[in-house]
Amino acid sequence: MRVVIAEDSTLLREGLARLLAEEGHEVVASVGDGQGLLSATGAYRPDVIVTDIRMPPTHTDEGLRAALEIRERWPEVGVLVLSQYVEKRYATELITGEHGRVGYLLKDRVTQVGEFLDALERVGAGGAAFDPEVVRRLLARTSHTDPLGKLTEREQDVLALMAQGHTNAGVAGRLYVSQSAVEKHVNAIFDKLGLAHTTGFSRRVLAVLRYLGS
């Protein structure tokens, strides 16, 4: 298979590239950030990308956002995400996407070479591969209702700032995004929390109360 690797740790990136090459795969590009991943995917159209979630410049979710964009723009490309931790929201977002060809493994699983290569093959063949620990955590989440769990990380950030009393303009300033972007996040929060327009009640207040009561 033709593979693009995105990992900011040079040591791990080179190790993965060497491992895949020794197993007969062609590593067409290896990059260290999300933007590089998007560029390499557009240029080489690999069968699979292998990407870390947290990469420069903020080390938050650059790899995930790049992976989700790749799934949208090039659905024929498989996406195998590696993460140091079980990122529930990220895993859920990947699992509930419209396209297959997706996997989510903890980085520790890479040292179990057979399992890692098996996951890569399955994703490349159009299937799915999820770390057992990831599945266990996701199933644990379904055992209780958690409306806040439906929110993306950015929506959680917006709601947290709302709870601190910031206006949409204030939230936009602190997150370095446009006010219209904040308004979209706020509307998404209302929808996901099931807060319909109700005369006499402020949806903003109700959303904050849900947050504070979580």
Which pTM was predicted?
0.63
92-129 pLDDT, tens digit per residue, is 666 665 567 888 888 877 778 888 898 899 899 888 78
Local confidence band at 27 (pLDDT 50, 70, 90 cut-offs): very high
Rounded to 10 degrees, the C-alpha dihedral 132/19/4/45 comes to -100
Q: Where are the domains of the chain?
A: 2-140, 153-213
Neighbours of 53 (CB within 10 A): 25
Give SS3 for 197: coil
Q: How far apart are CA 74 and CA 147, in angstroms?
A: 31
Give the Å distances, CA to CA, from 156 to 12, 23, 147, 148: 31, 41, 11, 8
What pLDDT, on the 0 to 100 scale, is given for residue 89? 66
What pLDDT, on the 0 to 100 scale, is given for residue 47? 96
Residue 168 has pLDDT above 70, yes or no: yes
What average pLDDT does the chain have? 82
**Does residue 62 contact residue 83 with C-beta atoms inside 8 Å?**
no
**Does residue 182 contact residue 160 with C-beta atoms inside 8 Å?**
no
Q: Among the listed ranges 17-21, 86-90, 156-160, 162-166, which one has the minimum average pLDDT value? A: 86-90
Q: Which fold has domain 153-213?
A: Arc Repressor Mutant, subunit A (1.10.10)
174-204 pLDDT, tens digit per residue, is 899 999 999 999 999 888 887 776 555 577 7
Characterize 69-78 residue by residue with b for buried, 16 or more Cβ atoms within 10 angstroms of its Cβ, and e for exposed: ebbeebeebb
CATH number attached to the domain at 2-140? 3.40.50.2300
